[in-house]
Structure 1
Amino acid sequence: MNIRFDGKRALVTGASRGLGRGIVKKLAECGAECVALSRTQDNLDSLKNEVPGIQTVMVDLADWTATRHALENIGKIDLLVNNAAISIASPFLETTKDDLDKILDVNFKAVFNVSQIVARSMVKRGNGGAIVNVSSIGSRKALMNAGSYCCSKGAMDSLTQVMATELGPHKIRVNSVHPHLVPSTGMGDSAFGSFPAGVLEYILSRIPLNRFPDVEDVANAVVFLLSDKASNLNGIGLPIEGGFEAN
């Protein structure tokens, strides 16, 4: 399946490492002009060295007003990937308000904020567009010591449905992907390291394909949902978990 985004402009949040970095590279391979957003300039610089044609934006998405200022003159965006997220591991009974606020600011409020900015521009231009929200298996299945993270992704899923319903008439499609734990990403490695002995082996035994997804798996799914090949998909949540939920 040949997917091309020539003439399209894509914004990816949380773009400087992990899943976001892989998604930017895949979109660029497919011809998109990419805008990579992150709060870490060094990581953005190294990404730009690898993908020289990208534009970079440094801003902390937890800051609602600063995000608006950073994106107010970003220009036309045809494709948006809301990938930025944080996780703070803690048992439900020990989770603090401060930790909950930090996670919701990035994992939910920032998605609302960035999507609102971009979608308003899409509606004004009248040419439609596509948005993919990077959710998690954690919005569908409980993850130990990740109550605030799971709730933030559940809120994202509800927002995806609302956006798909309200923006669909403007030819803007909104979907989400739901990866299982992904090794070799900062968040994935942190999650893997937080499990007691034997838990990862048990989780893997529940996955019929007997492997966790990798960055390429997620990037390919995101690119598909952004493309015209998925032109009648709107409001769906695509699991990327090797059949975990089926088992």
Structure 2
Amino acid sequence: MSVAFDFTNKKILVTGASQGIGRSICISLCKSGAQVFGMARNAASLEALAAEAGSTFTHLVADVSSGPEELASLLEKHQPFHGLVNNAGIAALEQAESTSVETMDRIMSVNFRAPVVISQIIVRGMRAATVSGSIVNVSSQAGIVPLKDHLAYCSSKAALDMATRCMALEFGEFGIRVNSVNPTAVMTEMGKAAWSDPAKAKQLLDHMPVRRFAEESDVVQSVLFFLSEASAMTTGHILPIDGGFTTC
């Protein structure tokens, strides 16, 4: 089911825009009237997305784990934004006993530090222009329940969820809402490859009342809801999009 949202005259920044969920978010926002700025490292993929999304899409080639000054300089001329989707994220499979410091640092820099730094930059622009806005962090069910061989990833998403709550607490007085969506495995191209083994998939699906993985549209619709005025009284919320995995 698709719900209609109207983001006419709204400027929204989406990180991790070049593929998967981020790409779908950008396309849906453009179709809903938004002026979308998609950030990612892959210039070719962003250019392909721009050709599909149309004239209301602007691509920004950047690494979200860059320094605050570099990111602020890139975004300054586009401020203020009305919305931000912190979607960029990475994962690595390592056993808890042997998770390296390098892996922990790399995952935390993208999955936790980058969303906080970019949110700080966007919030300063919103406040300077007296803009009420919404920030949506794309987290994971792995921030709520542990997964084997995902120590760094699970920890980074749990940290992001707490950052969501802390930012919601402090930014609310400025009319800025902050929420997280926490999907289960999503059937992006990467997700299909990762969960193509029926035995592996069964371990997860057997604990999900709906007995299916999420589609990109399941996540996109929730993100658009949090960005929209339909959720005007919702902030600091951690929304599992997991078919009941974390709650049943």
The TM tier, using the shorter chain, reads: over 0.9
Give the SS at the match of 2:195: helix
1:47-93 Cα deviation digits (max 9, x unpaired) = 01111220000011122243233223222210100000001111111
Q: Which runs of 5+ in 1 are unaligned?
A: none
Give the SS at the match of 2:136: strand
Give the SS at the match of 1:235: coil
Aligned amino acid, residue 198 of structure 1: A
Find the counterpart in structure 1 of residue 49 from structure 2.
47
Q: 1: CA distance between counterparts of 2:78 and 2:151?
A: 34
Cα drift, residue 16 of structure 1: 0.8
Find the counterpart in structure 1 of residue 109 from structure 2.
105
Give the SS at the match of 2:45: helix
Q: 2: CA distance between counterparts of 1:246 and 1:107?
A: 24
Asked if 1:4 is matched to 2:6, the reply is yes
Q: How do 1:1-247 residues align onto structure 2 when only pairs under 5 Å count?
A: 2-53=4-55, 54-64=57-67, 65-186=69-190, 188-189=191-192, 191-192=194-195, 198-247=199-248
Query: In 1, are the aligned partners of 2:79 and 2:122 still within 8 Å (CA)?
Result: no
Q: TM-score, normalised by structure 1?
A: 0.94
Q: How many residues align?
A: 244
Q: 1: CA distance between counterparts of 2:111 and 2:188?
A: 20
Q: 1: CA distance between counterparts of 2:247 and 2:64?
A: 35
Q: 2: CA distance between counterparts of 1:73 and 1:189?
A: 38
Q: 2: CA distance between counterparts of 1:67 and 1:24?
A: 20
Query: In 2, are the aligned partners of 1:181 and 1:213 still within 8 Å (CA)?
Result: yes
1:150-169 Cα deviation digits (max 9, x unpaired) = 11111111110111011000
Q: 1: CA distance between counterparts of 2:206 and 2:120?
A: 40
Runs of 4+ in 1 over 6 A off after TM superposition: none
Root mean square deviation, CA, Å: 1.5
1:194-246 Cα deviation digits (max 9, x unpaired) = x8x72311211211111111101000000001110101001001110111123
Query: In 2, are the aligned partners of 1:12 and 1:37 still within 8 Å (CA)?
Result: yes
Q: 2: CA distance between counterparts of 1:161 and 1:191?
A: 30
Query: In 2, are the aligned partners of 1:17 and 1:185 still within 8 Å (CA)?
Result: no
Q: 1: CA distance between counterparts of 2:179 and 2:8?
A: 21
Aligned amino acid, residue 201 of structure 2: L
Q: Which runs of 5+ in 2 are unaligned?
A: none
